[in-house]
Amino acid sequence: MHRIQPPAIDPGRIIKVNHAGEHGAVNIYAGQIAMARLRAPSLLPELAAFKAHEERHRAIFAKELKRRSLPRCRSFCLCGVGGYVLGFLTGLMGAQSIAIATVAVERVVLRHLRQQLLDIGTTDPDATTAISAILSEEQHHHDQSATHIRHAGVIDRMSGSVISAVTEAVIWIGMRI
């Protein structure tokens, strides 16, 4: 009996998509910060810290891309523009929407990062190190943001689901282009 083999895991592709995703995350926080000045000033210090984390994460993956002589992912600009729009719109809607968006995005990101670590295993220690280096901060963003969600109504749950689905779609596109 012939067994169908799953596609080989490409750590380089994973690094490229993660780099683009971190660029998107930097821009989500930039958009949220722009509007939080008006709509949720109490979140500004937290958002600035989260943005700084994401900038460091992006630099980790950029360094790994450079070491591997790989160009950035074709979805890099899509992630940047889409991230800023998402951040701006959720920032415009206030603290609850900012928190819901962060939780929705990080829920997807955390699942993908954990799966990447399992898929890569010990085959690429440098990729494993890069991914592992950001995991705890991404978990912190999720957990800290979840504390700001007071009561998630139907609209909040729906927007969180849409944001998670779009995040999944962007990752899927990034892995294929």
Asked whether residue 50 carries a pLDDT value surpassing 80, the answer given is yes
The stretch 104-109 carries a mean pLDDT of 98
Cβ-proximal residues to 74 (8 Å cutoff; 6+ apart), any chain: 174, 177
Domain ranges in the chain are 11-176
Enter the CATH code of domain 11-176. 1.20.1260
- Helix (H), strand (E) at residue 107: helix 95-120
Helices 95-120 and 76-93: crossing angle in degrees, nearest 10, is: 150
pTM above 0.85, yes or no: yes
Asked whether residue 99 carries a pLDDT value surpassing 70, the answer given is yes
> What's the confidence (pLDDT) of residue 5?
47
Q: What pLDDT, in 10s, does the model give residues 1-37?
A: 555 544 568 999 999 999 999 999 999 999 999 999 9
What mean pLDDT is reported for the chain?
Answer: 94
Range with the poorest average pLDDT among 5-9, 39-43, 97-101: 5-9
Confidence of residue 152 (pLDDT cuts 50, 70, 90): confident
Phi/psi at 25 (5° precision): -65, -40
**Which residue type sits at 101?**
A
